[in-house]
Structure 1
């Protein structure tokens, strides 16, 4: 199984990036590869209508370390762990997403990588457009 890292530098503090990205209500605004409609919160899980069908998402608990790891349970029942970190960067923050090739052809994996890159670009645009 292959893994690749996709990252984006954002001109905001790591805390600002983390808080925005960790808020389930914001997912449809920037994470189109995961959520394309409002998210339903059910205890510690999120029910999400995604391009893959309805998925269940569980994020690690809120933390001060910038860790946004989350497990996505696909319609097939497969659970995909997605490591995500918000790191300090000289220009603000860097968000780093590890994409794993699970149940994907090489072509689908490349498409997933581009979708994640586009989501992170959208996150950057949204956050940098906000006044500090």
Structure 2
């Protein structure tokens, strides 16, 4: 199993990037690989319609460290932990998502890395243009 860190620099403050990315209502705007519709809150879990079907998402509690790690409970039951961080960069903030291959073929892994890169590019665009919170 391999891992790849996919990152992007956003010309905005860490607080602005973290604030936008950590708001579950904004997930459908930038995280197409995870949320394709409005997010439903079910107890402590977020319920989203994803390309894989309905999944449960559990984010790390809000924090001052820029940690947005989250577990995704797949429709078939397995839990995938996704490290996601926002931290200071000389040009603003850097967002880093760790993609893990787990049970994916090499082609599926490359596809997932590309989807994450596209999601992060959308996040940068939204934060840079000052998109309102959903």
TM-score (norm 2): 0.95
User: What residue in structure 1 maps to residue 96 of structure 2?
Assistant: 96
| 1:53-92 equivalences in 2 (<5 Å) | 53-92=53-92
- 1:129 & 1:4 partners in 2: Cα distance? 28
Q: Which runs of 4+ in 1 moved over 3 A?
A: none
| 1:28 corresponds to 2:28 | yes
* Uncovered stretches (5+) of structure 1, i.e. residues with no partner: none
- 2:103 & 2:23 partners in 1: Cα distance? 28
User: What residue in structure 1 maps to residue 2 of structure 2?
Assistant: 2
| Structure 1 counterpart SS, 2:125 | helix
Shift of 1:104: 1.1
* Uncovered stretches (5+) of structure 2, i.e. residues with no partner: none
| Structure 2 counterpart SS, 1:95 | strand
Shift of 1:76: 1.5
TM-score (norm 1): 0.97
